[in-house]
A = this chain, B = another copy of it.
């Protein structure tokens, strides 16, 4: 049976933050927006509807947990949740804190501006803050 492995583009563009019951929780290395990515750690998933019903319940819970941590830490104006996968086919769910003052507002973030990598101390602090907010 095939094993799950993280798609190379997600591994290159994101940093691991936590391993949850269903998903690997990543932080996108783009300081333009507080941007989390959930990757259900099951092999062969492409679209949201590929998730078995039980995992769909889990993913809903994990999306909420990720969103609520962003709300607690950043008080965004909106949280964008999306499973697109037009570029990286492995199922992954974006959870992005959006602000009316952010670079792309009100456009979606994908493809809007080149990613701006975090300074390494800022990245470490952000990961620590997120882990604390997840509890």
Contacts and interface: CB of A to CB of B under 8 A. Distances in A.
A62 to B, nearest CB: 11
A89 B100 CA distance: 12
B79 A63 contact: no
Interface of A: 46-49, 51, 53, 56-57, 59-61, 63-64, 67-68, 71, 78-87, 89, 98, 105-108, 110-111
23 contacts: A47-B67, A47-B81, A48-B64, A49-B64, A49-B67, A49-B68, A51-B60, A53-B60, A56-B57, A56-B60, A56-B64, A59-B60, A80-B82, A80-B85, A81-B82, A81-B83, A82-B84, A84-B108, A86-B105, A86-B108, A87-B106, A107-B111, A108-B111
